[in-house]
Amino acid sequence: MAVAAGAVAPKIGMAKEDSPKGGREFYELRVYTLRDYDQQKLAEGYFSDAFIPALTRLGSGPVGVFTELKPATQTKLYVLIPYNSLDNFLAIQDKLANDQVYTQAADAYLFAPATDPAYERIESSLLKAFVHMPKMQVPEQKPRIFELRRYEHATEGAGKKKLEMFNDAGEIDIFKKLGFKPVFFGETLIGPLRPNLTYMITFDDMAAHDAHWKAFGSDPDWKKVSAIPDYADAKLVSRITSTILVPAAFSQI
């Protein structure tokens, strides 16, 4: 039986997390462009020795730090930082600036000479967690890979429709059901290439990655949702960027 245009597919095991106590998290996603390994070492040292310990003292985190599995040249550094509110985001910036332990540990990074900087550029985005997954879910600490996926949309309206597909039509539940172990789903509020949404999923290895995506494509619940005319990819997604990442040894995610 065909599904009428505009209809919403049945929800798949919707959890009572749509209106969580404390609201939805916000995420800062930083992407560091690095010239060479010396810059990578300095940037990673900043996060392992200064930034993450400071946030831990402030009761914030976990912070994820990742490199590319197969970089084309020098790897980029990906950093995922959660905040429980926008006020928390602003407050932490002020607290870091006034934390002498942090500023001393971060000195080599914060005040690297212009002739030998700690990085080439930082691309930073602010994201808001999805209604149906309002909090980050940290996977088991063991060897694994992460996939960071960004869906760009032609219009803001298309972006909102894709959010509806994830939240209301059960797409997030399909990911969870099939064992993708999502870490976060976020709508990009500020950042490049808007409108877009970004999410992170995790696998044991590339073989598991390929097997999970094959299962997703043939899943009957996904077939039902994706058959709804209003949810056709051609209408909602103009470009998909997938980056396979591995966590740094000191990453908390």
pLDDT tens digits, 77-104: 999 999 999 999 999 999 999 999 999 9
User: In the predicted model, is pLDDT for residue 7 greater than 50?
Assistant: no
For tokens 């290439």, name the residue.
Answer: 193
User: What pLDDT is recorded for position 10?
Assistant: 39
Q: Which residues contact 76 (CB under 8 A, 6 or more apart)?
A: 31, 32, 33, 34, 67, 68
- If we measure between CA atoms, which residue out of 81, 210, 215, 198 comes closest to residue 145? 210
Q: Classify burial at 44, counting beta carbons within 10 Å of its beta carbon; exposed 0-12, middle 13-18, buried 19 or more.
A: buried
Tens-place pLDDT, residues 15-27: 333 334 568 999 9
User: What pLDDT is recorded for position 141?
Assistant: 87
User: In the predicted model, is pLDDT for residue 49 greater than 70?
Assistant: yes
- If we measure between CA atoms, which residue out of 124, 147, 119 comes closest to residue 44? 119
Which long-range contacts does 222-225 make (Cβ < 8 Å, 24+ apart)? 222/171, 222/174, 224/3, 224/9, 225/9, 225/165, 225/169, 225/170, 225/171, 225/174
User: What pLDDT is recorded for position 12?
Assistant: 38
- If we measure between CA atoms, which residue out of 29, 128, 53 comes closest to residue 84? 128
Residue range 158-181: mean pLDDT, rounded: 95
User: What pLDDT is recorded for position 22?
Assistant: 61
User: What pLDDT is recorded for position 15?
Assistant: 38
Q: What is the DSSP letter of 230?
A: G
Domains of the chain: 26-247 (3.30.70.100)
For residue 200, the one-letter residue type is M
Residue range 189-199: mean pLDDT, rounded: 96
Percentage of residues in the chain having pLDDT higher than 90:
89
Residue range 226-247: mean pLDDT, rounded: 94
- If we measure between CA atoms, which residue out of 97, 112, 11 comes closest to residue 51? 97
Which is more confident, 22 or 43? 43
User: In the predicted model, is pLDDT for residue 118 greater than 90?
Assistant: yes
